[in-house]
Amino acid sequence: MAQCPWPRGSAPPDLTLDAGALGPSRASPTAADAILEDTVTRIMAEQEVENLSGLSTNPEKDIFVVRENGTTCLMAEFAAKFIVPYDVWASNYVDLITEQADISLTRGAEVKGHCGHDESELQVFWVDRAYALKMLFLKRFTRTSAARQESHNTSQGPEATWKLSKVQFVYDSSEKTHFKDAVSAGKHTANSHHLSALVTPAGKSYECQAQQTISLASSDPQKTVTMILSAVHIQPFDIISDFVFSEEHKCPVDEREQLEETLPLILGLILGLVIVVTLVIYHIHHKMTANQVHIPRDRSQYKHMG
């Protein structure tokens, strides 16, 4: 007959378990709920993105918006094209020749992204994820700006800037639309190297209509992918109004082109003003001269005056 595990007549021991004694796999519901809620919040924030390319009047330009907590935190408008070299067999099937694929970022692309205080990211996928573009933006502070930030003052100012610090382009050379019989068909990754592009004062958006090129080193041996950006308007930080860019910071090329366009107009206006002033002075001088009494040099003519 089985014996009672505790002395007869005494109360059984308290079998209530301490949640902490079960280890991390049995954490309290409150902590688990907090972790789960934080994870879900971050996932939902990352997925809160919109592709508004259909609103663009330029069929080659895409518009992407990343929103967190119902507020726009990253906006990007640009047209992008990638020049990708790849090898194919020559007609003798012995030598290799290099062809070139021109891949444009198309409308209807899938977009992901996230925003941070000093780091934001935009990811775009298209053609059934055969192509993927990742752009990483960083915001930097000088020592003065960082000190102000620690004292809970605004981080925006002339000492703070943001830039495009990394570009990654993933492409599949087995995709038949752009690649024809590539020798090393498959997934390849092209990355930027020590990139510092689109440098802009914090609190402003970057705008540049001119073409800009960025070189990317490919995992396909001895191949360099060229990324061409145009019609760019980007702001990855400090957006004040929903779906509205802040004040534009124009690229030097656009500023130079704008100056070249306006300089002839300014010179024309100045030349026209000089001509008008000259004519006015001449008219006044002529009028004053005409009103003066003509005194003859020959004294014999005085008798005819009066």
What secondary structure does DSSP assign to 96-116, as a single string? EEEEEEEEEPPTT-EEEEE--
Q: Which amino acid is it at 172?
A: D
| Sequence-distant (≥ 6) Cβ neighbours of residue 178 within 8 angstroms | 84, 101, 102, 103
Is position 29 within any domain?
no
| Residue count of the chain | 306
SS3 of residue 26 by DSSP:
helix
| Sequence-distant (≥ 6) Cβ neighbours of residue 145 within 8 angstroms | 155, 157, 159, 160
pLDDT value of residue 2: 47
Is position 259 within any domain?
no
pLDDT value of residue 17: 43
Per-residue confidence band for 67, with pLDDT thresholds at 50, 70 and 90: very high
Assign residue 63 the CATH number of its domain.
Answer: 2.40.160.110
Q: How far apart (Å, rounded) are the C-alpha atoms in residues 106 and 223?
A: 23
Is position 255 within any domain?
no
Task: Please compute Rg for the chain using Cα positions.
Answer: 36
Q: What is the pTM of this model?
A: 0.67
Is position 7 within any domain?
no
Strands 71-89 vs 62-68: parallel, antiparallel or unpaired: antiparallel
Is position 19 within any domain?
no
- Picking from 77, 153, 146, the residue whose alpha carbon sits closest to that of residue 118 is 146
Task: Give the tens place of pLDDT for each residue, 171-205.
Answer: 999 999 999 999 989 999 999 999 999 999 999 99
Q: How far apart (Å, rounded) are the C-alpha atoms in residues 172 and 133?
A: 12
Query: Tokens 């038949």 identify what position?
Result: 176
163-195 exposure pattern, b = at least 16 Cβ within 10 A, e = fewer: bbbbbebbbbbebeebbeebeeeeebbbbbeeb
Q: Is residue 71's pLDDT more than 80? A: yes
Is position 278 within any domain?
no
| CA distance readout (Å), 139 to 3, 178, 300 | 73, 36, 93
Beta-bridge partners for 213: 228
pLDDT value of residue 16: 46
Per-residue confidence band for 65, with pLDDT thresholds at 50, 70 and 90: very high
Q: For the chain, what is the domain count? A: 1
Strands 119-126 vs 160-172: parallel, antiparallel or unpaired: unpaired
Is position 124 within any domain?
yes
The residue range of the domain holding 77 is 36-249
Q: Chain-wide mean pLDDT for the chain?
A: 81
Task: Give the tens place of pLDDT for each residue, 107-149.
Answer: 889 999 999 999 999 999 999 999 999 999 999 986 554 455 5
- Picking from 92, 22, 86, the residue whose alpha carbon sits closest to that of residue 224 is 86
For Cα atoms 218, 219, 221, give the angle at the middle one, nearest 5 degrees. Answer: 90
Is position 193 within any domain?
yes
SS3 of residue 223 by DSSP:
coil
